[in-house]
Amino acid sequence: MPTITDAPPTQVAKDILSLRASLDKAIPAKQVERNILIATWNLRDFGGLTEKWASQKGDSPKRDLHSLLAIAEIVSHFDVIALQEVRADLKALRHMLKALGDNWHFILTDVTAGDAGNGERLAFLFDTRKVALSGLACEIVVPKEQLSSIAPGALTEQFARAPYAVSFLSGGKTFILVTLHVKYGPKAQDRVPELAAIASWLAGWAKNVNAYDHNIIALGDFNIDRKDDPLYQAFTSTGLTVPKELQDKPRTLFADPAKPNLGQFYDQIAWFTGQNRLPALSLNYQTGGNYDFTKTAMPSRNLTPQELSWHISDHYPLWTEFEVRG
């Protein structure tokens, strides 16, 4: 049985080299003590793995060593990445870490119990040559007195999947990443309470002078349908700001180019910029974008978008670059 660290078949190796060249053009280069590349990616049903270079009809899952090597190549171009939809089964994650090498570490939540949690974990992967943990890791729980006691549309129960906050250090700069996968629900309006609650909680944390650090960045899958809809308004209600470079980037393989504002705002990276008397991020933002892997991840396999979504993901990774020089 082949493993992820074996020399891949010739065509797989060609695909990965082509993917690497594409990524090198699309993503800024990683520079020690110069920049930090922070990303978020909803990896569809990221759990099991078929240990073949090419899964066949009847194999489950469809994700195989070829697709996992492509995922690892994409991840390797960032310094720290938040992953959503990591499952109880960590087989794919553990094999990907072998492909990434000893410099890559991870930290993650336990599985979220209950139907609403969908058996998911939230995770961060980070390159220890650029990034170190700086001491804080916590899941966000709303105090009982803040539930069921405020205006209609407010959170009345705990988050379906508790937001996960972890602090990191890079180039002498400390920052807290807070990731969340908002429950989709039967109606868009059902997502408003979680979005409003995370925006309010982050604002309160940022205002607290005794907080661990004021460099707070929210990132993850917030299931926001479109810019300026009620979901987006709830998310940005306390001053969270999405950089302009991410405003019109498609978030999924199935986004309709003819409707640029529909279904393109699920995934977000946002932070406070000094509005509402909230501390502005001290990291110097440079640029950001997505990475469309539809034509570059596994070109030799000629997969349909639906097939590719099960091999790689139905979401694109979203990324930002910050300068960390003093």
Residue 67 belongs to a domain: yes
| Domain annotation covers residue 170 | yes
Query: What strand order describes the sheet that includes 35-46?
Result: 104-108, 120-127, 80-87, 35-46, 318-323, 284-290
**Which domain CATH number covers 46?**
3.60.10.10
SS3 state of residue 220: strand
Tokens of 134: 């700086």
Instruction: Answer whether residue 3 is part of any domain.
Output: no
Query: Is 131 within a domain?
Result: yes
245 inside domain: yes
For residues 242 and 192, give the distance between their C-alpha atoms in angstroms, rounded to a whole number.
18
DSSP letter (8 states) at residue 279: P
Residue 232 lies in a domain: yes
Specify the number of domains making up the chain: 1
Query: What's the pLDDT score for residue 156?
Result: 56
CA distances (Å), 94 to each of 104, 156, 279, in order? 11, 36, 38
Whether residue 47 contacts residue 5, with contact meaning beta carbons closer than 8 Å, is answered with no
pLDDT at 233: 93
Average pLDDT over residues 78-92: 97
Q: Which of the pair, 173 or 128, is modelled with greater confidence?
A: 128
What's the mean per-residue pLDDT of the chain?
89
Domain of residue 109 covers 10-323
Under the banding of pLDDT at 50, 70 and 90, the label for residue 157 is low
Confidence of residue 42 (pLDDT cuts 50, 70, 90): very high
Asked if the model's pLDDT at residue 114 lies above 60, the reply is no
Q: Are 198 and 238 in contact (CB under 8 A)?
A: no
Give the pLDDT band of residue 257 (cuts 50, 70, 90). low
- Is residue 157 a part of any domain in this protein? yes
* Lowest mean pLDDT segment, chosen from 5-14, 150-159, 213-222, 263-272: 150-159
Work out the percent of the chain whose per-residue pLDDT is above 90.
65
0.95 exceeded by the pTM? no
Residue 5 forms part of a structural domain: no
Mean pLDDT on 54-66: 96
Question: What is the mean predicted confidence (pLDDT) over 100-107?
Answer: 98
